[in-house]
Structure 1
Amino acid sequence: MTRQIIVGNWKMNGLSRDSQELVKAITSGLPANSADVVVCPPFTQLGLLTEALKPTPVKLGAQDCHQEVSGAHTGDISAPMLADLGVSYVILGHSERRQEHGELDETVREKAMAAAKAGLTPIVCIGETEDQRETGEHFDALGWQIKGSLPDGFNGILAYEPIWAIGTGLAATTDQIAETMKFLREELVRQFGEAGKVIKILYGGSVNAGNAATILPIPEVAGALVGGASLKADAFLSIVSAASAA
């Protein structure tokens, strides 16, 4: 059985001391035969944590990258820059980026291509709104996001995060997750053929220590993209333990 992967998205949280203490607590508390673990701190902490994580099995991820290698893009960071720092993964197309920065599927697709070219594993996020879920349009929305956001030959990770569950404390029900995961796998195979059978799919959206053991064993769930709970070592380690046992 392939090991699950737990990705901690710290979002815009953590100063240097906070980040070092959190990483120390996480790395020292990992269970035996742990699931794969990735932490994605803010850009300002990447260089600092590269050294801290070197002797540990925990991998370093970033929360975004620009689609260009270099150029006049004030405030942006390219995929090669991240790779140069020792970053292994990068989250792309998170709903907060799509909503707050106007990112389109096409932009996410270009970023995923840039990340892969730089040797990073892209974690591409998709998800439906509450209105799309209530009107039964959620599968159409997800299908279009897969088609628009994932480049040909995609060999990264897909993260399903229902937008209405992010940061709200409202995780999707197990039936909703199972039904959606089944659809996503079928859609990946439809669009990518045999390669679509092995693309890992993570669930995200208010995953916490209390519901991880219920969510992670659901068929096709290969792990979780964790937000708020990744900022508390005990909660994050509980999720890692649940993934290790799934």
Structure 2
Amino acid sequence: MEQQQSAGWQGTGGNMWVEAQELLDQMFQPIEDLLMQALPADTRRLLDVGCGTGATTLAAARRLGPDSHCTGIDISGAVIEAARERTAQARSNACFIQDDVQSHAFEPASYDTIISRFGVMFFDDPVAAFRNLRLAARGNATLRLIAWRSAEDNPFMTTAERSAAALLPQLPVRVPDEPGQFGFADRDRVRTILEHSGWERIVIEPLDVVCSFPEKELLRYITRMGPVGRLLQTVDDHTRQQVASTARAAFEPFVHGDEVRYTAACWDIRAGASDQH
């Protein structure tokens, strides 16, 4: 599974995130805002896990100022390249690492804040990943993650695949607890992962956030993102048009004039490192 996740993010998955960078940043802007508002003011070294094209890393660097050191890490070369380009354009001091969090050789006890916006649900061995992050954390460091709750709690995120299932029989079925978008849906499992990784003061609370993006971007979202978007790159034009039309109709309840609105049903996950390893 780890190899599948890595291959996916190195290939189609990573490229799609780069192509849809502006749309995705807009879709998840309220999540970024929540993370930024909660940053400890005394943060000097921050790590952004599964940073994608760098929006949250750059936002943290802006918020914490020039004396801070903000680093993003992601397994996808495509998104890290995009993040570095954005950083150069913004003249930011943020920096980025392309590597697997599960095995990256972090400098021990080097970060006082670790954050993630939807970037931690894809690990093949999440205990190994969070143990590695714990080793990278300084004493009394804080961990703050936003992850999706279940597919059932997020009807917007599953509308495309539910509406297209009959037209795309090869669409993969989501399996509970497998690495992927809803890999952290089970709160008890997430708590166990963090406890076994050495984290303390664990708090996991439901968080519902209203998000939006322009209606004119909806068709691109349907045909380029998620399991349906990935699969549509491999089918014939007729099937692609059928799926797009069927899925667009299914999204109608979320369309309000020129805006698409939905609720992101998440877990707000907080934990801390003890003052000793």
Normalised by the size of structure 1, how large is the TM-score?
0.34
The structure having more radius of gyration, on CA atoms, is 2
Normalised by the size of structure 2, how large is the TM-score?
0.31
Q: Which has the higher strand share?
A: 2
